[in-house]
Structure 1
């Protein structure tokens, strides 16, 4: 089968429609706005390519101007999808592209009209694709393989259109949009079909990677507080324990909220949830680098501090308890003060498992509760000694 313009357009229609359908199905599964915009872009290409077939029937306004306008619109939708993917807000100036395209209707019907149309179309697509590629730059953070591929495919696609615009203005270049005559047009049709396949695959891979990362994050995090759950804490904590030495001790702190039930009973469970979120935010904002924090369940939390000392444990725990008590007192008036009790174990030799450490700290937490609440009970395994550090 010869790759004449009509055959290439028919292939483009089929490929773009398939890409639109595929990305549309992906969107239904994950509801990612970028996929919907990219799907709409390929659907627009399919419609525009169908209208381009009308040139053979002499309907040039629709077959050339309107069809190429849809091509620009499709690439604008690609850019909008990339902006949503990268969580970037585009300036309203990007809508002026459509005003520029409308201005082409004012051009007189002259022999050079085809060249002006092709150059204008190519430069607009170039601008859109280079911007999309720029938005996909790493920004100091890693990108998925699909996103990296998409970035360079869009860059190459944009550079092709730039080369097409430059070639079109060279003297002696044959361009006849009405009859699809000219080597530039022939090459452009082939490149368009190839670009559809590569762009669609890269777009799908980009969102699929993001979805998988999101699912993995949900599996590792407590849905309310965003801290690690117990399973992820144990997996990451074991790696941290491998670093413990006599000169690099660590500490595990187990804590829960004193009189938490009063908040639930007096203000409702949503208030209790807000209190848990407040505590988790305080922990995140004050934890030293390299530490781990997790919610074990209910109002019970666990912290693993790396390369620490009894003085640092005391200082951090005191600051956390005071900040939490002040926040709880400001938001919820209760008959008994809502505070934190903490049990901690300081060690320089890693135990067989985190479960052993949690059990030690749990015993210390029990002592803290029994001693009057709102205090830290620290067991120093290095000196085979323990001390109770009450509220100040």
Structure 2
């Protein structure tokens, strides 16, 4: 089958429609907005390529102007999807591209009309695509394989359109948009069909990695509070423990909610869940960024801190205790006060195990409960690798 312009456009329509459908199905299960934006972009390319077939039959306004406008809009969707994927805000100045395209409608139909239109349209698409590639550059952390591939596919695609614009505007290349005439048009059609396929594959790989990453995060989190679960704490603790030294001691705090059973008995488990969520919010707000906070189960929580002194641990524990008591008083009424008991263990030896620290903190927590609850007790000595 000869790769004439019509055949290339039909191939592009099939590829773009398949990519749009697949990404839409993925969005239905993942609900990631970037998938929806990318799917919309390919759907627009499908419609635009179909309309482009009409230009050879004399429908120039629809087959050229409208089709080219849709191609620009599709690349705008690609940029918006990349911005959403990278959590980056796109300036509203990019809407000027739409205004520029509308101004192009006022161009007089002279002999050079096709060349100028193709050049300006190519510049617009190049700007959108190259900016999308720029947003995907690594920011101190490695991207997924799919995201890296998407970045370079968009980069090459954008550079192609930039070269096409230069060729059309500066080199006086022969272009006949109405009849698909000229070598530049032929090469552009081939590149377009290949770009659709490569961009779709890259976007799919990018979102697959994001989905696997999200699944991993969900597996490491307590579903109610969003804090780490016990398994994730055990996986992350060794790296934090290894940083301990005499000059930079660490600490583990074991937290238990006093009289929590009364909340569930008197107000129901929904009230108890809200109280657990409130405590997890306090932990996220008050703890340093490098701390580990986890829910062990029930109403028991653990915090692992690095580079802290005993007085800092006592201050943090008191802050959490008073803040939670205030929240609990406003949220639920119980015969006995709902408060926090905290047991803390300090350590300076990097060879410690999480289990040894937990045992020491548990003993301190038991002392806090026995002493009347609603208090923090710090283990009297720093835990070392040789501590009993």
TM-score (norm 2): 0.86
CA deviation string 1:161-192 (max 9, x = no partner): 12212211235421111221112112211211
Summarize deviations over 1:135-157 as a string: whole Å, max 9, x none: 33445555333223323322332
Taking the aligned partners of 2:171 and 2:216, their CA distance within structure 1 comes to: 57
Question: What is aligned with 1:64?
Answer: 64
Instruction: Give the paired residue count.
Output: 384
1:14: which partner in 2? 14
Structure 2 contact 241–352 (Cα < 8 Å) conserved: no
The corresponding residue for 1:257 is 257
Distance in 1 separating the partners of 2:351 and 2:170: 76
1:340 maps to 340
**Alpha carbons of 1:254 and 1:119: their partners in 2 closer, same or farther (altered >3 Å)?**
same
By how many angstroms is 1:369 displaced? 1.1
Report the CA distance between 1:20 and its aligned residue. Answer: 1.8
**Per-residue CA shift, 1:60-111, capped at 9, x if unaligned?**
3322222222212211221222232233444555445444434444433332
The aligned residue for residue 109 of structure 1 is: 109
SS at match of 1:377: strand
The runs of 5 or more residues in structure 1 that have no matched partner are 385-392
More displaced stretch, 327-336 vs 370-379: 327-336
Matched residues in 2 for 1:111 and 1:186: separation?
20
Deviation at 1:231, TM superposition (A): 0.9
Residue 195 (structure 1) aligned with residue 195 (structure 2): yes
Distance 1:337 1:61 in 2: 76
Equivalent positions of 1:35-74 (< 5 A) are 35-74=35-74
Corresponding residue of 1:305: 305
Q: Does 1:279 align with 2:259?
A: no
In structure 1, what is the Cα distance between the partners aligned to 2:95 and 2:46? 22
Q: 1:246 to 1:66 in 2, by over 3 A?
A: closer
Structure 1 residue matching 2:109: 3-state secondary structure: coil
Measured in 2, the distance between the counterparts of 1:242 and 1:383 equals 14
The within-5 A match list for 1:308-319 is 308-319=308-319
Bigger shift: 4-13 or 186-195? Answer: 4-13
* Secondary structure of residue in 1 paired with 2:256: strand
Query: How far is the alpha carbon of 1:117 from its aligned partner?
Result: 2.1
- Relative to structure 1, the CA distance from residue 105 to residue 259 in structure 2 (aligned partners, 3 Å threshold; closer, same or farther) is same
Structure 1: distance between partners of 2:91 and 2:244: 52
Aligned mates of 1:203, 1:214 — CA distance in 2? 16
Q: CA deviation at 1:219?
A: 0.7
Kindly indicate whether residue 181 of structure 2 is the aligned counterpart of residue 176 of structure 1: no
Report runs of 4+ in structure 1 exceeding 6 Å deviation. Answer: none
Tell me by how many angstroms 1:330 deviates.
4.7
Q: 1:351 to 1:367 in 2, by over 3 A?
A: farther
Unaligned runs of 5+ in 2: none
C-alpha deviation, 1:353, in angstroms: 4.8
